[in-house]
Amino acid sequence: MTETVFDVAIIGGGPAGYTAAIRAGQLGLKVALIDKSAKLGGTCLHVGCIPTKALLFNAELWESVNDAAKFGITGLGTPALDWSAVLKRKDDVITKHTKGLDFLMKKNKVTVFAGTGKLTGGAKSGIHSVELEADGAKSSLYAKNVILATGSIAKTIFDLAPDDTILTNVEMLSLPAVPKSLIVIGAGAVGVEFASIFKSFGTDVTILEFLPRAVPVEDEDISKELTRLFKKRGIDVNTGAKVEKVEKTKAGVKVSYTDANGNAQSKEAEKVLVAVGRAPRTENLGLEKTKIKLDRGFIAVNEAQQTAEPGIYAIGDIVAGLPQLAHVGAMSGVVAVTKIAGRPFKPVRKNRIPGCTYSEPQIGSVGLTEAQAKEAGHTVKVGKFPFAGNSKATIINNHDGFVKIVADAKYGELLGVHIIGPQATELISEAVIALELEATIDELMFTIHAHPTLAESMLDAYAAVDGMAINA
């Protein structure tokens, strides 16, 4: 019997890997998808994007129900939170989408292998051999191309291993009860999303961020507004905080840190979340047998996601120089398989990637921050429009935040858009398209936005670049 030779073998079944597999199937390629878990979906579906957003939706509902009287809805009695039912709903969302992925694999004729994939070296006569280990048994799988999509894992500090007090994104999602108090180390997306969710459920939340501002990858004005609004919600945000020690106590945990003024401080809580970034999972992949060299664990690729080893591609969180986001992983997978199929593609461009943080308030941003635009040599013009001037924001009783536009003064080229406030993660999509199509402020100022919508804030913000917002 002749051994099957796949056109492409993909190692890792998260959003990068499964998206690549589906598109490869659509392009008529013979695809193998290898994942060590029997359940496809990776971090995003099982312990990342999807469960956190499911909990966030509960948090929003919970706050709305508690606020119902404000909207003339009375007679609800005292609402109660059934935490196990909250977790079950989150798990149901995951299960539904896991089954959805199994269906999509069948639909696109992707052969799924449950096991660990490992490279065995470069291709021989154009064919790669991938070692597959499942239940202790090893076998080989052959493919003309291999895509590495093994994702990332939460980093830790002081070599602390996660347990029921010291938590990462994984443990946070199955807490047996809502903790009374929580210290969050790191104010990136993971940290601020969990801080926001658990504050809504009644937890006393303290954030300790090492850098001088929260969400440090965002525009400075966004960091300031997030800190202001989090503090207004009662979240204790500490920036410039250097964590010195994390100790277990009888009641939970004590974190000692040096504050921004150089003073020694400490804080006790029931739980601590360590959210200090994610490390690429590139160990034990057999890379040492290839030409691929790691840069702090990440893999360098070209515009087609090709690594230094012919026929081997890398996508998703393991790629050097791209943000670790599910949608970046997915698009880098599309790019890789489109290249493999010999079709034209557009590379993933850093300035065209939306960043979305699903906290309350939400953040959506794309392109250059004001500081980055200035550093890049642009003469910058900025337009800012507060949601306070937007009628839909008032209708939904959520008018904190603003839309900030960064444009080049010369021709009004749109360079960046930074939104904090209601539905920011949805609103940002129009800005991504505007950047993709190289829109100018003049064009955007004459683009009709429906009334009353939150999206009108975008129109007002474009006009604000020339000092002509209608509603401010």
Q: Where on the chain is the footprint of ligand NAD (CB under 6 A)?
A: 157, 185-191, 193, 208-211, 216, 243, 275-278, 323-325, 356-358
DSSP labels, 138-173: EEEEEEEEEEE---EEE--STTPPP-SSEE-HHHHT
Closest to ligand NAD by CB, 290 vs 324, is 324
Give min distance, CB of 424 to ligand NAD, in A.
Answer: 11
Q: Which two three-digit tokens encode residue 194?
A: 């969990």
Dihedral angle sign, alpha carbons of residues 97, 99, 103, 104: positive
Give min distance, CB of 246 to ligand NAD, in A.
Answer: 10
What HEC string does 20-34 produce? HHHHHHHCCCCEEEE
Closest CA to 453 of 433, 423, 420: 423
Closest to ligand NAD by CB, 199 vs 392, is 199
Kindly give the pairing relationship between strand 152-154 and strand 278-280: antiparallel
Give min distance, CB of 317 to ligand NAD, in A.
Answer: 8
How far apart, in Å, do the first and last CA atoms of the chain sit?
Answer: 74
Q: Which two three-digit tokens encode residue 151?
A: 């994702």
Q: b or e along 45-83 (b: 16 or more beta carbons within 10 Å of the residue's beta carbon)?
A: bbbbbbbbbbbbebbeebeeeeeeeeeeeeeeeeeeeee
Distance CA 169, CA 177 (A): 15
Task: Give the nearest residue (CB) to ligand NAD.
Answer: 188
CB-based contacts of 343, cutoff 8 Å, min separation 6: 27
Give min distance, CB of 127 to ligand NAD, in A.
Answer: 35
Give min distance, CB of 73 to ligand NAD, in A.
Answer: 31
Distance CA 247, CA 245 (A): 6
Closest to ligand NAD by CB, 252 vs 280, is 280
97, 399, 449, 451: the active-site residue = 451
Give min distance, CB of 213 to ligand NAD, in A.
Answer: 9
Closest to ligand NAD by CB, 356 vs 459, is 356
Phi, psi dihedral angles at 214 (to 5 degrees):
-70, 165
Closest to ligand NAD by CB, 241 vs 406, is 241
The burial class, CB within 10 Å (0-12 / 13-18 / 19+), for 177 is: exposed
Give min distance, CB of 416 to ligand NAD, in A.
Answer: 17
Closest to ligand NAD by CB, 193 vs 370, is 193
Q: b or e along 114-145 (b: 16 or more beta carbons within 10 Å of the residue's beta carbon)?
A: bbbbbbeeebeeeebbbebeeeeeeeebbbbb
Closest CA to 332 of 84, 148, 103: 148
Closest to ligand NAD by CB, 125 vs 263, is 263
Distance CA 316, CA 21 (A): 13
Q: Is 327 marked active-site?
A: no
Which of the residues are catalytic?
Answer: 451
